Amino acid sequence: MLVKILLVVGLFGLARSVEQVRYDNYKVYNVRIDDLEQFKLLKSQDKSLKLSSWREARHLGESSDIMLPPEYQKTFESLLAKHNFTYNLKIDNVQTHIDAQKPKQRITSMEWTQFHTLEEIYAWLDVIEDRYPDIVTPFTIGNSYEGRPIRGVKISYKEGNPAVFIESNIHAREWITSATITYFIDELLVPRNPAVRDIAQNVDWYIIPVLNTDGFAYSHEVERLWRKSRLPSDPTGECIGTDLNRNFDYLWMLTGAESDPCSQIYAGPSAESDPEISQLTAYINNSIPEGTIKIYISLHSYGQYVLSPWGHTALEFPEHYPQMMHVAKGFSDALYRRYGTVFTYGSSATTLYEVSGSGKEWAYAVKNIKIPYTIELRDKGELGFVLPPEDIIPVAREVTEGFVGMIAAAREIDIL
């Protein structure tokens, strides 16, 4: 169901009339894929039943999270029953949880009891840049396709520190990522315990809170569950956007990506076709001294994973895989001690699914950054992309603890 509303686009445009997507009575099913025939059957029904994949099964015998609109649900359930799928209903009405993500009374100043818009995040970046000029160095890697600046901050207490680079919200709908990383930035600026003070003062942090600025704004203004960029990708105008985490120039389109512009994992017409990725890699290449970045993190949700290279094959592992696993264990163990949240770690191909053209693969293979990860935050699929605002602080606190453990583990093996 579409509802027309008038939005004011603040910093980046004039008021315009848009169609706001609602998900009334959309359901999310958890469906186990037992064999290749079941997998092919579901793929064949993608467009006819308007199936939207939230999370795909890693291997045969595991489950996918699939959302679909109410008018196709009976047909879908009949199909599952006829072909002996095992399934259960995870979310009965997606819109109910989206509504719960919206504050009853919006607070425009930055705090972590609600999900903030791009304008609010950027206004807060202005505040911390003014408040901590000796610690915070702002940077902009360039502009998005629609002209939004892609902003980041470097947090550095002294010269000569090794660095960690974090890009967040490369997938627009993963709001918990930018909420978490802005909380972490605040922790680095006003450390509340000695361990956080240590990693703030002795490590430089390059952080881009929202890499996919166009998609993120669109997910707030129009379509909450939008994933991709907003670069037109289909001459007919029917399909928009690239999966930016398939657009990096390393083994682009080898596996785990699609050439169909309508696909959620469309890798773009060419490697680095989207300005968000070409400008990100250019910034790292040209503005950060070679060898400075010791750890690269692409922050995502959901699933509770720490994923390393390789993504393109499960048959071999990178040279530094033992070090990657040591540091991933340090992150996961420290995070667990906060609330008992379990993170699984391993290579992408063996732990989740095969993928190429992603940020961490580029960071390792092209930039020789020995510890690169995709980190998937909470949850395990109970609410997925529509976590309530009440979860922001617990997630951010445990991730902060995880980063402390990550740095400690990296030091143990002389990465930092």
Helices and strands, counts by H and E, the chain? 12, 14
pTM of the model: 0.95
* 119 in Cβ contact with 133 (< 8 Å): no
Q: Cα 414 to the chain's mean position, in Å?
A: 28
Helix (H) or strand (E) holding 158: none
So what's the pLDDT on residue 106?
A: 85
Residue with tokens 């980063």: 403
CA 166/CA 141 separation, integer angstroms = 13
Residue 388 confidence class, pLDDT cut points 50, 70, 90: very high
Per residue in 173-184, is it b (16+ CB within 10 Å) or e — as a string?
bbbbbbbbbbbb
Residue 14 Ramachandran class (φ > 0 left, ψ -120 to 50 alpha, else beta): beta
Domains and CATH numbers, the chain: 27-92 (3.30.70.340), 107-228+242-412 (3.40.630.10)
Rounded to whole angstroms, the maximal C-alpha distance in the chain is 65
Active site residues: 376
Convert the pLDDT of each residue in 221-269 to its tens digit: 999 999 999 999 887 878 999 999 999 999 999 999 999 999 999 999 9
Reported in sequence order, the residue ranges of 71-120 that DSSP labels E, i.e. its strands, are 86-91
Q: Show the tokens assigned to 237.
A: 């105008």
- CA–CA distance from 182 to each of 66, 332, 362, 407 (Å)? 30, 20, 25, 19
Query: How confident is the model at residue 8, as a pLDDT?
Result: 43
List, in sequence order, every beta strand (DSSP E) within 180-292.
Answer: 204-208
> pLDDT for 267-292, tens place per residue?
999 999 999 999 999 999 999 999 99
Angle at 147 between CA 230 and CA 265, to 5 degrees: 20
What is the DSSP track for 203-232?
A: SEEEEES-S-HHHHHHHHHT-TT--S---B
Q: What is the mean pLDDT of the chain?
A: 94
What is the rounded average pLDDT of the residues 299-322? 98
